[in-house]
Structure 1
Amino acid sequence: MSQPMKKSTYKSQRKAEAEKQEKQRKAMRKLFWAIGIVAVLGIIAALIFTPKPDPTAFEYDQLPILGKADAPVKIVEFGDYKCPSCAVFSQQIKPQIEKEYIESGKVALYFINFPFIGEDSTTAAIAAQSVYHQNNDAFWKYFDALYKNQQDEHTVWATPEYLVQLAKDNQIDVDLDLLKKDIEEGTYESEVNKHSKAANAAKVLSTPTLFINGEEFTGQFSDYAAIKKAIDEALAAGQSE
């Protein structure tokens, strides 16, 4: 027959059990703290080592292109069709780049809209995007026509009627009725807005702004010698890789 447990023995066992449970609780707290620390360190490491999106990693295949897509040097121009400086670049600098580098397959020129001068800057950009989506080659002819026929930046001149007539007068190879419809309905307004967001992400402050293989050209847009030097350096860098 079992004997009744002594009171002192019972208390000792209760104390031992309580101490055991407390040790287990402390061990679990330490484990949770360790797991928490590891998780926090993991998040910090991810923030530090995860590459951030590159704002100058342009979506070249979605932009108007002058030249060959596999050209080793890619130049992106941010421009506004109402910008007088962009007209200078179009008429004085672009032809030199085209003759010396684009025709030989060394450079491809791309264009991104950054319409900020007036409401009709956006209208002109929508018209140009309509032409681009119909015919990439026609885009560049229209691009030049817009700048050659550019009017005072302080007046509203890029109206739907003017933009369609300009395409007609310069024999731009597109469906003029579709062009008119795209302008009036703002078919490519969201695309133009996306271009503006890309400009903001790349911290573009003025037009024309050039990026050569993703690096902003910080010289004067009208200084062809400086642009040529930057292109040659980009070509040399590509050959050394």
Structure 2
Amino acid sequence: MSQPMKKSTYKSQRKAEQEKLEKQRKFMKKLMWGTGVVVLLGIIAALIFTPKADPTAFDYEQLPVLGKADAPVKIVEFGDYKCPSCQVFSQQIKPQIEKEYVESGKVAFYFMNFPFIGEDSTTAALAAQSVYHQNNDAFWKYFDILYKNQQDEHTLWATPEYLVQLAKDNAIDVDLDLLKKDIEAGTYASEVSKHKSKAIAANVNSTPTLFINGEEFTGQFGDYPSIKKAIDDALAGEDK
């Protein structure tokens, strides 16, 4: 039969247990603090050293190009042929980019469709894509003519008949019968749709919107000095 534990012995064991628990608590506290520091340092390192999101990727070879395709800087414009702001850009800003950068071989200028104003925005895009697939150089002439002859954005003016007549009146070097057929059959509807989907994926919410070497230009489309600076910065980056 076991003997009852002496009171002094019980107190000693109890004290030893408490001291042991206290040591364990302090150890766990230090461990948790150290782990927290490591986690925090890991987060900071991730923020510092994780590379920025890749620029928007474009399939440049599938787009109409103005200038040399191997130019160090590539600019993509998202536009709508019914958009008044796009008309301003095409007539006032794009010519400056052409003269200063495209003609010198420093910039290749591309266009993608973001038709959203009216149903004939898509019709005009279908016409332009048809011209592009027949003749890249003719596309840019037709591009300028579409904006030159742009009508009120609230009016349905870009009809198949009008778009073909514009090409005929301005001697666009394409097969006009094929142009008419492509518009009416929606030959390049899926292509225009892909352009629009790309715009949405890239968070484009207005036209014109420019991407310079995959990076969105967030300044004003009519502010040429700011656009020029962005191009120069991109060129400087390519030289490094």
TM-score (norm 2): 0.77
Contact 1:142 1:172 (C-alpha < 8 Å) held by counterparts: yes
Look up the match of 1:77: 77
Look up the match of 1:166: 166
Looking at structure 1, the residues matched to 180 and 209 of structure 2 have their Cα atoms a distance apart, in angstroms, of: 29
Looking at structure 1, the residues matched to 179 and 206 of structure 2 have their Cα atoms a distance apart, in angstroms, of: 28
Deviation sequence 1:172-199 (CA, Å, 0-9, x none): 0000000000000000011000000100
Match runs of 1:183-222 below 5 Å: 183-222=183-222
CA distance 1:202–1:57, change in 2 (3 Å): same
Looking at structure 2, the residues matched to 200 and 140 of structure 1 have their Cα atoms a distance apart, in angstroms, of: 24
Looking at structure 2, the residues matched to 89 and 173 of structure 1 have their Cα atoms a distance apart, in angstroms, of: 25
Q: Which amino acid counterpart does residue 167 of structure 1 have in structure 2?
A: A
The answer to whether structure 1 residue 116 and structure 2 residue 152 are counterparts is no
Q: Which amino acid counterpart does residue 91 of structure 1 have in structure 2?
A: Q
Looking at structure 1, the residues matched to 55 and 157 of structure 2 have their Cα atoms a distance apart, in angstroms, of: 32
CA distance 1:175–1:69, change in 2 (3 Å): same
Looking at structure 1, the residues matched to 197 and 54 of structure 2 have their Cα atoms a distance apart, in angstroms, of: 13
TM-score (norm 1): 0.77
Contact 2:55 2:215 (C-alpha < 8 Å) held by counterparts: no
- Runs of 4+ aligned structure 1 residues displaced above 3 Å come to none
Q: CA deviation at 1:97?
A: 0.4
Q: CA deviation at 1:55?
A: 7.2
Q: CA deviation at 1:67?
A: 0.5
Look up the match of 2:223: 223
The percent identity for this pair of structures is 85
Q: Which amino acid counterpart does residue 121 of structure 1 have in structure 2?
A: S
Structure 1: gaps (5+ residues): 1-50
Match runs of 1:24-173 below 5 Å: 56-173=56-173
CA distance 1:55–1:161, change in 2 (3 Å): farther
Contact 2:67 2:108 (C-alpha < 8 Å) held by counterparts: yes
Looking at structure 1, the residues matched to 101 and 237 of structure 2 have their Cα atoms a distance apart, in angstroms, of: 16
Deviation sequence 1:94-116 (CA, Å, 0-9, x none): 10000000000000000000000
Q: CA deviation at 1:54?
A: 5.5
Look up the match of 1:179: 179
Number of residue pairs aligned between Structure 1 and Structure 2: 189
Look up the match of 2:237: 237
Looking at structure 2, the residues matched to 223 and 147 of structure 1 have their Cα atoms a distance apart, in angstroms, of: 19
Deviation sequence 1:123-176 (CA, Å, 0-9, x none): 000000000000000000000000000000001000000000000111100000
Give 3-state SS (helix, strand or coil) of 1:82's partner: coil
Looking at structure 2, the residues matched to 149 and 68 of structure 1 have their Cα atoms a distance apart, in angstroms, of: 28
Look up the match of 1:18: none
Q: CA deviation at 1:79?
A: 0.1
Q: Which amino acid counterpart does residue 237 of structure 1 have in structure 2?
A: G
Q: CA deviation at 1:56?
A: 1.2
